[in-house]
């Protein structure tokens, strides 16, 4: 499976300059050319409002404005990029965090240390299989995944991992 990420504006938000460099290098390896970085949620919010990205990769734990708080601000129906795909990247992978990220409206959860394959697969899923957005009193974000969605992807030849995420096709 190949996706063309060259035309995308991708925002990488992490308080670790080292981690931003790693993720940005992976993105360049996938063909991305328009990568923007921010060192915390507050810095990201300013940059997002000036130039809304097509995809956001954000760390959970950061000073000033953390990833969860940033996602809450982004996932407001009238925000400039409320519908942008968001991948939450974190070293804190407790089940409670995974569930909390879903309730925030994150498209994907990705644990550190991140592999290029895992990042690419999450990005590909956001691009190839966008989920419609739903809005309730308590939630605004991508529609929760369904069991039927995973079965359909398997039927059309997209292999899934144990979390229902598309795997890179062999061959």
Identify any residues that bridge with 55 across adjacent strands, giving them in sequence order. 10
The verdict on residue 156 lying in a domain is no
The verdict on residue 169 lying in a domain is no
H-helix or E-strand spanning residue 37? strand 34-38
Greatest distance between any 2 Cα atoms in the chain:
45
Read off the tokens for 124: 């590909």
Q: Give the residue carrying structure tokens 């000033």.
A: 64
Per residue in 113-144, pLDDT (tens digit) is: 999 999 999 999 999 999 999 999 999 999 98
Taking Cα atoms as reference points, which of 77, 87, 79 lies closest to residue 139?
77
The verdict on residue 157 lying in a domain is no
Taking Cα atoms as reference points, which of 133, 146, 65 lies closest to residue 105?
133
The verdict on residue 66 lying in a domain is yes
- How many CB atoms lie under 10 A from the CB of residue 62? 24
The verdict on residue 20 lying in a domain is yes
Tell me what the mean pLDDT of segment 7-18 comes to: 97
Query: 100 vs 14, which has greater pLDDT?
Result: 14
Rounded CA gap, 171 and 162, in Å?
21
Rounded CA gap, 167 and 87, in Å?
16
- CATH number of the structural domain spanning residue 28: 3.40.50.2300
The verdict on residue 122 lying in a domain is yes
Q: What range does the domain containing 55 cover?
A: 9-130
Binning pLDDT at 50, 70 and 90, where does residue 95 land?
A: confident
Read off the tokens for 80: 């400039």
pLDDT at 99: 87
Rounded CA gap, 45 and 114, in Å?
24
Q: What are phi and psi of 108, to 5 degrees?
A: -145, 150
The verdict on residue 170 lying in a domain is no
Counting the structural domains of the chain, the total is 1
The verdict on residue 1 lying in a domain is no
Tell me what the mean pLDDT of segment 86-97 comes to: 89
Query: What pTM does this model have?
Result: 0.84
């Amino acid at each position: 499976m190949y996706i063309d990420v060259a035309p995308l504006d991708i925002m990488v938000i992490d308080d670790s300059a080292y981690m931003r460099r790693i993720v940005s290098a992976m993105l360049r390896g996938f063909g991305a050319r328009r990568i923007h970085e921010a060192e915390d949620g507050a810095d990201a919010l300013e940059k997002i409002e000036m130039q809304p990205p097509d995809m956001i990769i954000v760390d959970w734990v950061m000073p000033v404005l953390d990833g969860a708080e940033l996602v809450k601000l982004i996932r407001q129906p009238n925000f400039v990029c409320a519908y942008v795909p968001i991948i939450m990247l974190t070293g804190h992978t407790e089940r409670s965090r995974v569930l909390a990220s879903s309730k925030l409206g994150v498209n994907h959860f990705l644990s550190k240390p991140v592999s290029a394959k895992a990042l690419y697969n999450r990005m590909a899923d956001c691009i190839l299989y966008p989920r419609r957005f739903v809005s309730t009193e308590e939630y605004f974000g991508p529609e929760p995944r369904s069991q039927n969605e995973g079965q359909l992807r398997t039927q059309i030849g997209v292999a899934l991992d144990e979390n229902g995420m598309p795997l890179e096709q062999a061959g």
